Structure 1
Amino acid sequence: MDPETEQVLDAIGPRLRTLRRTRGLTLEALAATTGISVSTLSRLESGRRRPTLELLLPLARAHRVALDDLVGAPPTGDPRVHLEPLRKHGTVIVPLTRYPGRIQVFKQVLTPREPRQVTHEGYEWFYVLAGEVRLILGDEELVLRPGEVAEFDTARPHWFGPADGGVAEVLHLFGPRGDQAVVRAAPPAP
């Protein structure tokens, strides 16, 4: 085996261990999710077992990362994010990041729909890119225009959508466990 391939294979175990620990998973929890035994996972992480495609595919699925991220594939030279739009709750959502368990970033195209406030665990932050956004937080109602930002705890009843029956676009950050974006700049004074 050539030295470059050997080096790539040797780096997979530590990368798997770091990924698991970063996500706060035990070997037992990962074994339950993937169907791979604890001993096999331990040997993979320590480098005592060579990774195979049959082992890496369920690990990539469990961690919700591309197989290239597990292997540490060399960059292809194309820095573009390949976007895969989804339709959900009357909006088009374009995921810009793929970090399960951490703050997620989306571009969201909001289309008209009836307001229905919801609550859930997490923290939301959004920046209006285009159009006007109507935000309902409990009994409070606001209209945000391009360049304005809103942030709130999602345990508070909330809903947001286009303000004028048209379409609005936002850059949306969501922290699933109450993770909060830290904003270090303020919008210009009117």
Structure 2
Amino acid sequence: MVDELRQLGGRLRAARQAQGLTLQDLADGAGMSVSTLSRLESGKRQASLELLIPVTRRLGLRIDDLLRPQTADPRVRRAVIRREGMIIAPLTPENSPVATYRITYPVHPETPALKVHDGYEWLYVLSGRLRLLLGEQDLVLGQGEAAEFDTRTPHAMSAAGDEPAQVISIFNETGARMHTHTAD
């Protein structure tokens, strides 16, 4: 409980800032001085119910919300996407600024069509061999090899050889949408 009390000031500051409130805004709404609120947030003033109740009411929180550790479940629980023979497993939350996927590329007898879209991609081959068509280049990457490229360069990927290629791919939101959604 002592650790939770030490973290109370920082959590209070974070809750205030998350609501876009200044020290003055919250102090006025809670009926206290800016100095008292500032000292409470910095841990220089001991928290009491007399101070916390008006502050938490103004923030729309319970006192327990400031005392309880705010650790969210870090596991990513998103459905696997199957598209054009690929198996795409999301490795980051849906609204992450950088999208990461484990993609299994199937063996294709014909050369895949080149695509162009905004974004930048970084990839790493986990297993198998990946054929990367990139502009005029026809490359084969093996296990442990990586590549990065501007996705405005015409490109396509597929497994090279007789077995699927498993790859970790990282790209921005635009690139993720291109790889995981079908055209409407």
User: Aligning the two structures, in what range does the TM-score lie when normalised by the shorter sequence?
Assistant: 0.5 to 0.7
Preserved contact between residue 15 and residue 59 of structure 2 (Cα < 8 Å): no
Count of matched residue pairs = 125
1:110 aligned to 2:105?
A: yes
Q: CA deviation at 1:83?
A: 4.7
Pair 101,158 (structure 1): closer, same or farther in 2 beyond 3 Å: same
State the match for 1:14 in structure 2: 17
* Among candidates 123, 128, 150, match of residue 126 of structure 1: 123
3-state secondary structure, aligned to 1:14: helix
Q: Which has the larger radius of gyration?
A: 2
Tell me the amino acid that sits aligned with residue 163 of structure 2.
Answer: G
Unpaired runs of at least 5, structure 2: 21-56, 62-67, 176-184
Q: CA deviation at 1:82?
A: 3.2
* Residues 129-148 of structure 1 aligned to structure 2 (within 5 Å): 129-148=126-145
Q: For each residue in 1:22-56, what CA deviation from the matched residue of structure 2 results, as whole angstroms up to 9, or x when unmatched?
A: xxxxxxxxxxxxxxxxxxxxxxxxx96749xxxxx
State the match for 2:79 in structure 1: 84
1:75 aligned to 2:71?
A: yes
Percent identity, please: 37
Q: For each residue in 1:49-101, what CA deviation from the matched residue of structure 2 results, as whole angstroms up to 9, or x when unmatched?
A: 749xxxxxxxxxxxxxxxxxxxx98437x654435311123211111112637
Distance of 1:84 and 1:15 partners within structure 2 = 30
* Residues 92-103 of structure 1 aligned to structure 2 (within 5 Å): 92-98=87-93, 100=95, 102-103=97-98
TM-score, scaled relative to structure 1:
0.53
126-135 or 111-120, which moves further after superposition? 111-120
* Residues 4-43 of structure 1 aligned to structure 2 (within 5 Å): 14-15=17-18
3-state secondary structure, aligned to 2:131: strand
Distance of 1:73 and 1:90 partners within structure 2 = 43
Pair 81,138 (structure 1): closer, same or farther in 2 beyond 3 Å: same
Distance of 1:154 and 1:16 partners within structure 2 = 37
Unpaired runs of at least 5, structure 1: 18-46, 52-71, 179-190
Distance of 1:152 and 1:169 partners within structure 2 = 18
Distance of 1:73 and 1:91 partners within structure 2 = 40
Distance of 2:18 and 2:145 partners within structure 1 = 39
1:163 aligned to 2:160?
A: yes
